[in-house]
Structure formats: structure tokens, C-alpha cells
Structure 1
Amino acid sequence: MKTQVAIIGAGPSGLLLGQLLHNAGISNVILERQTPDYVLGRIRAGVLEQGMVELLRKAGVHQRMDREGLVHTGVELAVRGRRVHIDLHGLTGGKTVMIYGQTEVTRDLMQAREAAGALTVYGAANVEPQGMKSDAPWLTYEKDGELQRLDCDYIAGCDGFHGIARQAIPAEVLQTFERVYPFGWLGILADTPPVNEELVYASHERGFALCSMRSATRTRYYVQVDADEKVENWSDQRFWDELKSRLPADLAERMVTGPSIEKSIAPLRSFVVEPMQYGRMFLVGDAAHIVPPTGAKGLNLAASDVSTLFDILLKVYREGRTDLLEQYSPICLRRVWKAERFSWWMTSMLHRFPDADPFSQRIQQTELDYFVDSQAGRQTIAENYVGLPYEKVQ
């Protein structure tokens, strides 16, 4: 089998890239190790930057998002009991974010790909990229116990942090940057109305908390816990009690609680590899970088990678601009590191660090106070939260 672009991974980044390429007449095949139901079962982010919303519209998969998604013009920070509104729309010249779950994005993209008749091979085991440094790379994989080969012009590694794409690159070629944080997020999903019309990020002496949502009737809440905490130690009642203790009194009083649909603990880390390209294979999204979820950047960074790679491949196939291929990694990394900085800053400012001395605690409080009490500070938060512009491929 032969195609122009082989994509490893049928998560949202692989599916989005595939849809954009298909619409542009560039053939592509997606290889996915798991089943469609498994992919849809992943509970992930739900805040879409303006740039990702526009990219989904460009791909033609926006209809349900525009109908069911919640446009948010602001976000709240709760700092030691007081609530501060960050006017995203007013501080960024009209930009907003969209609340629409990653599961729903993935479902829309799967349906669009099926309707287009584009090929996704689910249950593709032991995928191995080959010949990445040549002009004719290929992949081998096993399907139903038989070894298969997929020839292509380019490979997009959209298979996540634990995927094969990055592992297939010689270790000495990559430089790794990483920070592991000494805490995690205990999160629950519940069919309860949101406690607030906007997301609330709370900094409290007991630790960080986040009030998020997936829809007008489904909520996603988080509390900071120790890195070695076990989810089975947390009953629903214990979670709700702890969450309320970290919120301003007026929010805690009106919170509607209920049984959890899903409960899990996510560790927090910052991770980047450079470069994001090896020959004719390109790393996309979590395969190349991880951000702590505090800045709502993980899925959105993957989307900006997709946008850059699509724009480059479009010019390669339509204009013969193969000189642009080497620009993928530098363009992506400029935006990646800015998002890493913002996510690190949000994490550093809003969480309680177990080893922080009294001086460091006062500096943390003062830093946060400065940003929320300053017009320039709030504008900095807003422009990063809605998403920095995508760099044009020229």
C-alpha cells in the first residue's frame, strides 16, 4: 500500500491533520494501535483556543462544535478568597475560547473521516517507521497477525507521549527538556450544572483547585493532590468537601454535587524534545511536548503543530517548496516554548509547593497579586490563555 502522508495515531491531532490533507487532495492513511471506542474513551481537555476553533472550521468539522460548544469571553482567578475576572474578549481585541471536550472533537473528526472514505487502520500493532532519512520512507505494522507495509512520502508521528514515533528517532539526535512537578490533579467528571458560568482557577493554602465544565450540564472539577496519592482514597464526598474548602464561600455555597462518572489522578510535567523532525518524519503534539494542564495548552499546542505541518506540506505538494520542510521544527518550537512558559507560570503561581520556604511563598503571592491587580498583567494572562497567533509559513 502507498500513500503520500502516513499518520501514526488516530487521536485528535492525527485525525485533524488527515482531514485537512484529505480536503486538499493529499492522500493519507492513519495507523492506530487501539480501537475507535478506546480512543473515544480518553477523558481529556475541553478548552479550545481561538486558533484551534478556526482550524476546525477550516477542516470543515465545526458544525456540532458551533452548535453545542460554549463560547467563553472570560475566566476567573480566585486568589485567597477573592475572585478576579480576566476579560479575555476585552483584553485581546475580541478573542475568546470555546468549551468543547476533546472526546467530542475526536468524534466529529472520526465521523468526517469515515464520511470522506479516508482510510484509518485500527488495531495496527507494532508500527515501525523505516527509512526516515531517505526520500522514500515506509512503515511496517501487523494487522490480524499479518505483517503489512505502507510506503509514503512523509510520516507524521501523532501517537502521543508513549508512542513509537519519538522512540524511533536515535536517542543521540534528540535533546530532552523536562520538569516533573511534586503533585498531581485529582479530577472528577459529573453530570451537575457548573458552579460558575466561567472557569475558575483557585489558589488556596490547601492547594490548587479548578472548576471547569464540558457542557451546561456536565462538569469537570480538579483539586491538587500529592504526587503519590491514590484515587481509591477519595470518595465522592471527600472530593466535594475538599473542593469546596478551596473555593470562595459564595461559590462553595451554590455548588451542586453528585456522583462522579469518572475519577482519576493526572501527574503534572513539562516536557519538550528538540528537534521535532527527523528526516521525513515529523513529531506532532504530545509526541514532542507535554505541558501541565494549568494553562489549557496541550491539545491546542497539538493543533498549532498540525497547522504548521499542513501548511508546509500544502506548499510542498502544490509549489514544490521542499525547502520549507526544515522549517517545521523551528516554527513549532517557538510557539511550544512560549506555551511551556505560560503553563509553567500558571502552575508555579497557583499551586502550593511542599518544599516552599516562607520567603518563596510570599514571592509567589506577590507575583500573583501583581498580575491580577495590573491591567498589563491581566492582559498578559489573557493573550496567552486565548492562544498566541500561529506563525505563518512563508
Structure 2
Amino acid sequence: MTVRESGDLDVSAIRTDFPVLEREFDGTPLVYLDNAATTQTPQRVIDAISEYYEHYNANVHRGLHHLSQEASVAYEAAHDRMAEFVGASGREELVFTGNTTESENLVAYAWGLNELGPGDEVVLTEMEHHASLVTWQQIAKRTGATVRYIRVTDDGHLDIDHAKELIGPETAMVSVVHVSNTLGTINPVADLAEMAHAEDALIFVDGAQAVPNRPVDVAAIDADFYAFSGHKMAGPTGIGCLYGKQAILEDMEPFNYGGDMITKVTFDDATWNELPWKFEAGTPKIAQGIALAEAADYLEEIGMDRIARHENELAQYAIDRLGEFDDIEIYGPPAGEERGGLVSFNLESVHAHDLSSILNDYAVAIRAGDHCTQPLHDKLGVAATARASFYLYNTREEIDVLIEAIDDARELFG
């Protein structure tokens, strides 16, 4: 496959960093367009994991021997790196979790169960991922709080006038996705943070689809909490990050209890370790955290602004190509608007799951289903959508292959 370059991004060179992109199925090259679910991993990140297990595999913060000291230094440096990557003031504001979902649950349980009660309101959006929607829904049931939802307009944006109506004196928490994993919409999270803070409410931003592909500055957003996952940003699975303002994290009770998150334990009570270790009970995600910092280095060397432009260009090209056909419905903001690097669509009279299965025969990997946004799909009036999502190593040629495979699926289903 001949690769045309995209702007100032050397896609040909980038693709050589990812071993899995060399795979073929029955002689057909892989076209991986499921990056909103999980991105692929560059060799240097894989090497960082191997380096840890081969040379200094040991537990952190618990040993005086060489291996433990080396692991501890690398693990703590990884916190510093990820804090820097998103604009946090230091490692005290950056907790390693399992993923964005665990970060949501950490805040919901450690903050929500203690702070919410009858009369309090949690404001979400109709485009929230289940990680946010279900979590706050269940916490509200336990505390007597009420969940309210900012409407999504027909063109895939948040209804900001409705947001201004909902965010009021009773609001305690606003939880909003930065970039929709179904619509590709980039939400005005800084504006929503300003609305929340004007009512003495906090804001939690789900950045799972934002941090991997665009510059994020949590201080500029003025987010109280911000969460993202490693496996969506060229890092390993099993690792995520929760940013929280230091003063808020210090006031919160731990989510998990056990080793390393304590300072002193007696038969009657315990006191907690300093941040961020207070929220990292037990043996932490050492190899994953070290490798995630390597992924951050890799992405930043390429340039987050360049990655954002590349993804937007691919999304616009995909919308243009899909828009050539009257029997394809595209969801989310229209062509010409900046959006995250994904496009959800449906082919008339063909279920998204059937379409995905046919595309797999052409070695084209997309996602089909409700993308953990069932209420949003209900609002759209569809049970499922097909979603093609792009990353820094994808090309226009791969989108052309997608379109050709859709053409064949159209013929197959008549």
C-alpha cells in the first residue's frame, strides 16, 4: 500500500513503529480502524515493558535492595511524566488506576458517597459513556441525589442553553465526556467547568477520547477531576490516570484499603499515606505505568497538535467518502467541523454487526454496537452503529479500502 502523507505527519515512518500493522489475513493487509476502543502499541513501549521484567522486576516502596529502588524510581518518575503530560502541578495530583472507568468509580465512591445526599444534583450529558452514566446513576440511588442530563442537539452538539438551565444551586457535580466516543463531538469542557464552579459544583471530565490525540491542559480547563486510559494512547492495557486537584484529593477518603496506602496501622485504626499513594492500594501497576510514560514520550515527540490535525483530516475524509452514498447515515457534527478521529454510521438495511462481520472478511477492523452509549443510541433511534476510528498511523488509503468493502457488503445484502 502506497501511503500519501497527511500534512506534516510522516505516516509512513510512524507505521514502521507498530509491529501489528504488518499483519495480513489470507494475504490481505490489516486495516485497523478500531482505535477508539484500543490503539496499537509501538515497539518502544513494548520494549519498556520487557525492560522492566528483564532487568528490575520488583515491588515498589517496600524494599531496600537495588531492584526495588530502581523500580520505585521509575514508577515515581512515570507519575511525574504523566502529570506533566496533562498539565497537572505534580505527582500528588496524578493517581494511577486501572482505566478511565476505575477513575470514575474512585471519585464516585470516595467523593460521591460522602458528599452527595437528597437535594443534590449530578449533571451529565446524553452522550456520556456508561463509565460515567451508570456510575453516577448508581451513586445517586445510594445517596438520594438526582441525575440530570444535558440534551444533545440533532447535529450532535451539547445544548449549551440547556446546560445553563440545569447547572444551578443544587448541582454538586458535573460529569462530562471531553470527546464523544460515538459522535466525535469535542465538548466545551472549559466553559462547562466555569458554569459548574459558578455554582460551587465540581466537574469531572472523561478524557479517554481526548488525551490520546490532542493537547490537554487540565489547569487551563480548570477541571477538578480528569480521567483517561493508557490503552487508547499507544500504551498498555490495565493502566489509567486520574487527575484531581490536590486540595480535593487530600480531603477525600481512600477508595481501596490495604498495603502501601497507609502511614500507620494499629489494631484500632489507620492513617493514610501521602498523595498519590493514598489511592494506590496494594502492589500497583508498575510495568504498565512505566510503559505509559514511554507512550507519552512517543506521542509528544510526534506532536499532539499534529496528531489532532491528522485525526481530524481523516475524519473529514471519511465523512466525505461515506457521504457519497444515499444509503449511509452519518452521526455527529457535520463535515467541516473539527471533531475527534472517529465516524459512526449505518448502512441502510444492514445491521452494524453484520456489516462489521463482512468488513472483517476484508481484514478491515471496525467497531459495531452501542459503544457503551445505549441511552444515546436510543435517542438516535438506532440499536447500534458502525464506528470507524482513526489514529496517527492511519491513512486515507485505508479509508478507501473501508469504502470498497462497504460497497461489497451493499452488493451482498442486496
Q: Which interval holds the TM-score relative to the shorter structure?
A: under 0.3
- TM-score, structure 2 length as denominator? 0.24
- TM-score, structure 1 length as denominator? 0.25
